[in-house]
Structure 1
């Protein structure tokens, strides 16, 4: 049976988005910043911006964050070119999946996908992005929330999904992003579920040696 062309394009968008998501940003930055260091066994054990900041310093942390955001955004852009708005949403979610579960490492050892999802939001839901940034800033500024990265991420994800529902229901403009549709909250919900699952799989962070009762992020 011949697969419809639009379905083929969506499949290609998903595949390209996933591959872009597997780009090893943290590994490359770590290799340049400190040879012999592996973020998967140092600090919190997560190959992401927060752990890079903790282990390698601000420059490395910023580089990992920018790189991960960029690959999420690039995936959405490529997906849009290949398969239109639906391709953008699917490729963005696929990039987060690739970041969390990279095929090159046996679908293990990936990051938590937060920064890649920021890139997804920036391209597919730019009208909401300032709100997303504000929620992140508020949670980061509150010491209690800052220490509870999972709770902060959960709150931010819930707001993202709710925002998608509202924009779709109201038909509000979305700046340079695709016209709001049911795919907007669905993609946000799927990406959020993947991120939450990664947080749960990682388990609670180990306490720091200098303060055994204070959790790390």
Structure 2
């Protein structure tokens, strides 16, 4: 029952569409009608507002981290923390409030991994930064970071997180399937261009 409660709470926390809330509050329009229509920070950046994009990035990553930390703190159970993080990711990617059409999960993924095991999370962030710096394509950074998560858990001896990291990775890969198709076609846009 406790695990179920944390799963539900994690999902509800993750399902808050901060990108939409922030862009509407700042008078930037309906984010779902801008650029890719995605609700994450990369698409918020396409509105031309860096502060809005930064706020979205922080809040989307924060909801994954908060779900994990609250579950760990209040339950004392690492299984509850992992479930809460997984549920927050599912809430972000498939929010009931938006007809289960949410974000792609990268910021929430990083926040979740940082809260579960900060060394693994930092290495995922570093992987993202290197891949993005080379490509200037957000999805390349995202795909590299999530693909590195499970290997980093093995390298750092956090095998208790390997299965969770693999599930998170597959969710992000699934949400990036259109990006992967565009990367193969050579039509994936670079960050900084308005759509």
Gaps of 5+ in 2: 191-195
Match of 2:151 among 154, 162, 168: 162
Q: Pick which of 76-85 and 131-140 moved more.
A: 76-85
The residue number in structure 1 matching 2:106 is: 114
Deviation at 1:201, TM superposition (A): 5.3
Cα distance per residue 1:9-55 (max 9 Å; x no partner): 111111111110001211110112125x1111211211110111121
Match of 1:141 in 2: 133
Query: 1:1-217 maps to which residues of 2 (within 5 A)?
Result: 8-34=1-27, 37-80=29-72, 81-82=74-75, 84-108=77-101, 110-142=102-134, 145-147=135-137, 149-168=138-157, 180-182=158-160, 184-200=161-177, 204=181, 215-217=188-190
C-alpha separation between the residues in 1 aligned to 2:90 and 2:81?
A: 14
Distance in 2, matches of 1:196 and 1:9, equals: 29
1:100-129 CA-to-partner distances (Å, cap 9, x unmatched) read: 000112212x00010011110111011223
Distance, in Å, in 2 between the alignment partners of 1:195 and 1:186 is: 14
> How far off is 1:202 after superposition?
6.5
TM-score w.r.t. structure 2 length?
Answer: 0.87
**Structure 1 or 2: larger helix share?**
2
Give the conservation status (yes or no) of the 8 Å contact 2:67–2:81. Answer: yes
Aligned CA-pair RMSD: 2.1
Bigger CA drift: 38-47 or 12-21? 38-47
Asked if 2 retains the 8 angstrom alpha-carbon contact of 1:13 and 1:87, the reply is yes
Aligned partners of 2:172 and 2:11: how far apart in 1?
15
TM-score of the superposed pair, with normalisation by structure 1: 0.79
CA distance in 2, matches of 1:31, 1:38: 6
**Cα deviation 1:38-82 (Å, max 9, x = unaligned):** 111211211110111121411010010011011011110122123
Alpha-carbon distance in 2 for matches of 1:67, 1:79: 18
In structure 2, do the counterparts of structure 1 residues 202 and 22 end up closer, same or farther at CA, with 3 Å as the change threshold?
A: farther
